[in-house]
Chain A
C-alpha cells in the first residue's frame, strides 16, 4: 500500500517563502506530484519529480529525495492568491494511479 504525510495547515505572510513537506511510504514509486486546489475548485497540476533534485517553475519549486522518501514544495514571493490547499501525490506505477495526501491548507496573510 501507499501512505503520505503532509502538515494539515501552514500560515505565512505575503512576500515570504514557505515550504510544504511530504513524506511517503510506497511499494512502488514512479514520481511525486504536487497539486493546488482553491476552495470549491478542482485540483490543478503544479509540478512532478521523478528524479532526485529540485524542479523550478516560476515562483514554485519542488524537491525530491527518493532515498529519504521525502519531497517538498517551495513557494516563493507568496501572494494572497496562493492561499489554497496543496496536495502531494505518489505515482506508484500501477496504471498511472496516484495516491494523494490529505492536503496542506496554506493561508497567506497581508
Chain B
C-alpha cells in the first residue's frame, strides 16, 4: 500500500494564478482532510470530506475549494493564489470518526506564492 500520496511535492505560483493539489489514498478510508501548516504552528483544517461526493468547510476555508468525486481522491483548489496562502499543505485520511481517530498523513506539498 502506498498510503496517502500528494502531488505535487513543491510548487511556486505567482499571485492570481490557480492550481489544484491532488491527494490519493489506497486504504479505503471514508474520511479525508486538507490541512495547512505555517511555520512554528500546528495544523489548521481547511476542508474535509466524510465520504464520496461530500465536502465541508473546516477552520480556514476561505480562498480554497475542494472536490471528492472518487472515494480515493480529494482535490484542493486555489482559484486565485495569494501570498498568504504560502504554506505546507497536508492531506490526511481516516477510516472513521469513532475508532482511534488515527489520521494518516501524506508527505505534504510545499507551496510558495510570490
Q: Do A and B come from one complex?
A: yes
- Residues of B near A101 (CB, < 8 A) are 42
Complex: how many Å from CA A50 to CA B94?
16
- The total of Cβ contacts below 8 Å across the A-B interface reads 68
Q: Is B102 an interface residue (CB 8 A)?
A: yes
Residue of B nearest to A105 (CB): B40
Residues 63 to 110 of chain A near chain B (Cβ within 8 Å)? 87, 89, 91, 93, 95-103
Contact A96 B94 (CB under 8 A): yes
**Which of B13-21, B44-52, B63-71, B74-82 touches A?**
B44-52
- Residues of B near A50 (CB, < 8 A) are 100
Contact B43 A100 (CB under 8 A): yes
Of the candidates A30, A93, A96, the one whose C-beta lies within 8 Å of that of B31 is: A96
Complex: how many Å from CA A44 to CA B3?
12
Which 10 interchain pairs have the tightest Cβ spacing? A96-B97, A100-B42, A42-B105, A100-B43, A48-B100, A102-B42, A91-B101, A45-B102, A96-B31, A43-B105
